[in-house]
Amino acid sequence: MTGRLELGTAKADITPSHPVALAGFAHRSGVFERIVRPLGMNIFCFRQGKYQALVVSADLIWWGSDYADRLKAAIDAAWPSAFDAVLLHATHNHCGPQTSGLFLKVLGEPDREYWAELEAKLLAGIGEALERMEPVSVERGRDRCELGIHRRLWKDGVIVMAPNPDGPADHELTVIRFRNDAGRVKGLFAHAACHPTTTGDNIVFPEFPGVAMEAVENALGEGAVAAYLQGYCGDVRPALIRDGAFCRGSADDAERLGIRLAEAVLRVLERPMEPLAASELRWEELIVPLPLRRVPDRAELQAKCGEDGIVGEWAARLLGELENTGRLPDSVPLRLGALRLADGLTLLAADAEMVVEYGLFAKRELEEGVLPVGYTNGMTGYVPTDRQLAEGGYEAADSSLCFGLPSPYAAGIERNIKEGMRTLTGIVKPVLEKQADRLQVRVYRDRKQMGTAAALDVARHMRELLEKRPRIRMIFAAAPSQNEFLETLRGLDGIDWSRVDVFHMDEYIGLPSDAPQRFGRFLQERLFDAVRPGGVHLIDSSGDIGAECRRYGELIRREPIDIVCMGIGENGHIAFNDPPVADFHDTETIKPVELDDICRQQQVNDGCFASLADVPTHALTLTVPALMSGRRLFCIVPGPTKTKAVRETLYGPVSEACPSTILRTHPACTLYTDRDAFGEEALR
């Protein structure tokens, strides 16, 4: 049974105590001229059972990736392992201090003294919120509130920043209300999507989000805390237009826009709202690599260092990075995260300025109740669509200089981003779930969803174990059937791989040490090199086989195996325990075996070898009891060539004639398969 959601809230004034430069506009110089309104920070601590999540919304332009990492470390030092999720979110206010040291000066220079002040206020606020925890109910309401307009317009063969009423925009306002058992509003989220760039004056001011939230809090009273959540608004700005062009407004204009937003929020609160049922408080993170179009070389950067303005500063910065590290990145990691707070309420966070099309996609294509929130836990810069990359313009091309990127992104990033969003927000639900004896079976639409679901479950179990013990031990299978699983697993965040010891379950005998078909190499390339486990233990089949069996067997037996990630062969083998050599009561941990012809032909069918004659006839394999000794087994089996093996695994007699049938006796094993492998039952 899912427990009650608890919430504690706090507020802090984060107005600079001394003059600092502001962030976001190139036309401003020097420190701010005056303070028009204070800047605020709203802190929400959520708890459900043993899980806790922190959501912070501040009147800042962003939390820079360098600064956000520092703050997360400070939070963890103050409350060790207390929070399963930390979301540092910014409203994208352009009238506040710079909170990143990674970008060009044109975006504003950071003030480290202010950073220290902000950190102290954040930690104090978290402490206050934790002291005010109480159970809450969750409700949702929606309305329409037109704050902005699309800002990309095709004109005279190029994209210009101009009002485009025909372009996409998200005019939906979503209000989330948290009430305690006495019916008092404890906290509130207001979610919309529009750049807070009403005014470009050199003033400290929370822009329209801060104005709106203060008005809502005043209307509610009783200590209610209202936080604005900024959506994906990268190409949407306030609709201040004169003679068909954008014009910059004043603080008064921002006040009017804020009051309009506040009135819309209060209208929602006056109507009946939809109760949201309690759900498991859950956080998942995923890194989506965004390839760059090109990486400039040293000569190109040196040639541009002498240019005036942004280009010269950009080239000098990249040249310095090249000198310090020896290389420039060819991709940028986009960090996505999904925080599920209730049934029908998931915050889809991104450390970037996502354009509005991604937000509209999330609301249209993902599960009900996804709220896309940008400017969270860091900042990489603008993330455009593929179409925008082809068109050019500020978001797709020009801004990459300001954010210090080597180049704009390469075409094709949109598909990867959307797949990542689907992964995180629960779209990978099985089309069929069943049980075969003790074996849990989950069937997915395709092998991509199957691999993603398995990776999410494995990662979640790893995190749970790492909370309880200093190290864990895992065994991995090496086969093309594991590709989607391994690809997703290596991109998932929040796993301390330095405390993981990894093993693999089999290796050919007779292949050269540098052969691409070697299973140790397969896992190095697809997982281990990327995540860098604390201990990597590979089978060495190049020397004395008996000695290697003794060495590797002792390593496996030294401590219990926590997790086994495995597959099933076409002949029902697990590892290289083919039917002729499988022994459910084997006294060995690892042994040499002769491979049967079905097993060897599968290696050809999988594209690993050109012909049957090229496939080795012998291998080393962990035995069936060694695999079954794992405390938790995850079995990943996709593809139409596995249909017979899956059917035998689930419905055949438990015997060495189909070694995988032994999985039905394990107390904690889950089989992940796709419709192709499961067969007709999953298609009906």
Task: For each of the domains in the chain, give its residue range(s) and CATH number, in order of start.
Answer: 5-278 (no CATH), 440-678 (3.40.50.1360)
Sign for the pseudo-dihedral over CA of 46, 376, 38, 217: negative
Closest by CA position to 197, among listed 24, 28, 15: 24
- In this prediction, residue 608 carries a pLDDT of 86
Angle at 339 between CA 334 and CA 341, to 5 degrees: 165
- In this prediction, residue 681 carries a pLDDT of 59
Angle at 75 between CA 74 and CA 78, to 5 degrees: 85
Average pLDDT score, the chain: 95
What is d(CA 428, CA 451) in angstroms, rounded to the nearest whole number?
A: 10
What is d(CA 511, CA 624) in angstroms, rounded to the nearest whole number?
A: 24
Cα(first)–Cα(last) distance of the chain, in Å?
31
Angle at 539 between CA 462 and CA 573, to 5 degrees: 75
Q: Which of 151-165, 307-321, 603-617 has the lowest average pLDDT?
A: 603-617
- In this prediction, residue 428 carries a pLDDT of 64
Q: What is the secondary structure of 313-375 as a DSSP string?
A: HHHHHHHHHHHHHSS--SEEEEEEEEEEEETTEEEEEESSEE-HHHHHHHHHHS-TTEEEE-S
Beta bridge partners of 286: 336, 492
Hunting for tokens 């035998």 — which residue is that? 648
Per-residue pLDDT tens over the stretch 186-217: 999 999 999 999 999 999 999 999 999 999 99
Non-local (6+) Cβ contacts of 263 within 8 A are: none
Average pLDDT (657-683) is 91
Q: Which of 258-262, 424-428, 594-598 has the lowest average pLDDT?
A: 424-428
Asked if residue 1 has pLDDT above 60, the reply is no
Average pLDDT (348-376) is 95
- In this prediction, residue 321 carries a pLDDT of 93
Average pLDDT (64-70) is 95
Total residue count of the chain as it appears in this document = 684
- In this prediction, residue 533 carries a pLDDT of 98
Per-residue pLDDT tens over the stretch 354-365: 999 999 999 998
Q: Which of 525-529, 564-568, 598-602, 637-641 has the lowest average pLDDT?
A: 598-602
Q: What is the secondary structure of 22-62 as a DSSP string?
A: BSS-TT--SB-SEESS--EEEEEEEEETTEEEEEEEESSS-
Q: Using a pLDDT cut of 70, give the percent of the chain over it.
A: 99
* CB 151, CB 236: distance < 8 Å: yes
Per-residue pLDDT tens over the stretch 500-514: 999 999 999 999 888
The one-character DSSP state at 681 is G
Asked if residue 410 has pLDDT above 70, the reply is yes
Average pLDDT (44-60) is 97
- In this prediction, residue 638 carries a pLDDT of 96
- In this prediction, residue 513 carries a pLDDT of 83
What is d(CA 480, CA 474) in angstroms, rounded to the nearest whole number?
A: 19
Asked if residue 678 has pLDDT above 90, the reply is yes
Sort strands 236-238 and 148-155 into parallel, antiparallel or unpaired: antiparallel
- In 369-500, where does DSSP find H-type helix? 386-391, 399-402, 413-424, 447-468, 483-491
What is d(CA 206, CA 296) in angstroms, rounded to the nearest whole number?
A: 38
Q: Which of 26-40, 104-118, 605-619 has the lowest average pLDDT?
A: 605-619
- In this prediction, residue 486 carries a pLDDT of 96
- In this prediction, residue 429 carries a pLDDT of 72
Closest by CA position to 458, among listed 518, 520, 502: 502
Phi and psi torsions of 637, nearest 5° = -140, 95
- In this prediction, residue 426 carries a pLDDT of 66
Per-residue pLDDT tens over the stretch 155-188: 999 999 999 999 999 999 999 999 999 999 999 9
* CB 211, CB 172: distance < 8 Å: no
